[in-house]
Amino acid sequence: MADHCSNTFAELATELGFSCEEAGGLVEFRSPFALENWTLPVLELTIVAGAILALWYAIVRLRRHGDPTNLVLWFGATAYLFVIEPPLYFPAAFGIEEHVDTMFAHNVFTVDFLWGRLPLYIIAIYPLMATMAFGIVRMLGIFRRYGVLIGATCVGFVHHAFYEIFDHLGPQLRWWEWSVDNPINQPMFDSVPMGSVVVFAALWPMSLAFCVQYFVGRHVDDGRHFSGIELTWRTVVIGLLASVGTFVLPLPATVIGMSNTTVRGVVYALELAVLAVVAGVVLVRQWSQLRRDTEAAPQYTDPFVQRFSALYLAVFAFLWIASLPAFFDAVDGQTSNGDPIGNLWYTAACFAIAIASVLATFTVPRPQPTPDSPASATSEVSS
């Protein structure tokens, strides 16, 4: 599909080690041993396996216990992906090339779609990350106690921690390459655009979680059952409205920082700070309350999220440790191979938040099962 090889994408592809003109068709398979480096198949296996397991667990909850929330979240995140990503890969095909140039290029992985633009693991990472963040917040009972908006804010905060661990490592290991000359990607936070740090790491999952909980989750918590048709149209609406939310939530930074990237970065940082303060206070307060009042145990537990979140953090800790020698040898923010490095201190803070969030779900009282209750249903799944 050489006619869609814009100059920017072709340059990024060359820097990553593959040719845009030779990238395969709608789907292409490669040997995992023929990729850029050994970290690519490790990343791919971790994320794809996690997404498949998340889908399986979501189906189990729906079929056995009539709880479709996880399934709607999984497909809602996937629907969001297919609304947001294709225009970023092919701006010319969508008639927006005069406004949006190529922002980034993914490296090629074992399984790729859309002429080398969309690795399978990127499709998988949207529902997996959303499932982990949403599950942690739901297990802590925050939606029930604080409502849809605050619960969604906490999801955005937790998702941000998990995502930035990945986001600040990818450029160094050539999982993708950002177009640093693209004004949309400015300002940069070391190797990551502030737009990615705030919008894709925090605001889009906040938007998705709000829609999922508003249209499905809160009704399920109240004991309502949905038909297949109801779930289908609600999932489509969730994917579309979450996309709108991703446009609306960053508007302060978009509008105020329209002519000045420094101002845009400051407003982005302020938005993230507000989200972090609100979510941080609520998460700590709710955890403390649950520890003091055993009768206030949340009515939901998710063994998949607990176990896989721990595995995710272990894998990424290993990948980060393996990358540290090149990180510390970097000069002027670039390794000897010319790859940009992320921010280690920020990543360490995100690791601390993510680990604390997972541990919190293990240290609060478990729900007391009663016949036909959500807690009882979850206990059956976990056993």
Each of the 383 residues of the chain gets a pLDDT tens digit; together they read 445 677 888 888 888 988 887 777 889 999 999 999 999 999 999 999 999 999 999 999 998 888 999 999 999 999 999 888 888 788 777 777 666 778 899 999 999 998 888 999 999 999 999 999 999 999 999 999 999 999 999 999 999 999 999 999 999 999 999 999 888 899 999 999 999 999 999 999 999 999 999 999 999 988 898 988 999 999 999 999 999 988 899 888 888 888 899 999 999 999 999 999 999 999 999 999 988 876 666 678 899 999 999 999 999 999 999 999 999 999 999 999 999 999 999 999 999 999 999 999 999 887 665 444 444 444 434 43
Per-residue model confidence (pLDDT) at position 298: 67
Helix %, strand %, coil % for the chain, to 5? 65, 5, 30
Per-residue model confidence (pLDDT) at position 1: 45
Per-residue model confidence (pLDDT) at position 378: 45
Per-residue model confidence (pLDDT) at position 371: 42
**CA–CA dist 304, 247 (Å, integer):** 31
Per-residue model confidence (pLDDT) at position 294: 65
Q: What letter does residue 22 receive in the DSSP assignment?
A: T
Per-residue model confidence (pLDDT) at position 89: 81
Q: Name the residue ranges covered by the structural domains of the chain.
A: 38-96+124-382
**CA–CA dist 364, 286 (Å, integer):** 10
**CA–CA dist 86, 89 (Å, integer):** 5
Best CA proximity match to 20, nearest among 122, 117, 121: 117
First-residue to last-residue Cα distance in the chain: 50
Per-residue model confidence (pLDDT) at position 83: 87
Burial of 1 (0-12, 13-18, 19+ CB in 10 A): middle
Peptide bond into 187 cis (omega under 30): yes
Q: Which residues pair with 193 in a beta bridge?
A: 188
Per-residue model confidence (pLDDT) at position 367: 65
Contacts of residue 8, Cβ cutoff 8 Å, sequence gap at least 6: 101, 102, 179, 182
Per-residue model confidence (pLDDT) at position 216: 96
pTM summary value: 0.93
Per-residue model confidence (pLDDT) at position 170: 97
Per-residue model confidence (pLDDT) at position 368: 60
Per-residue model confidence (pLDDT) at position 380: 39
Per-residue model confidence (pLDDT) at position 370: 45
Per-residue model confidence (pLDDT) at position 2: 44
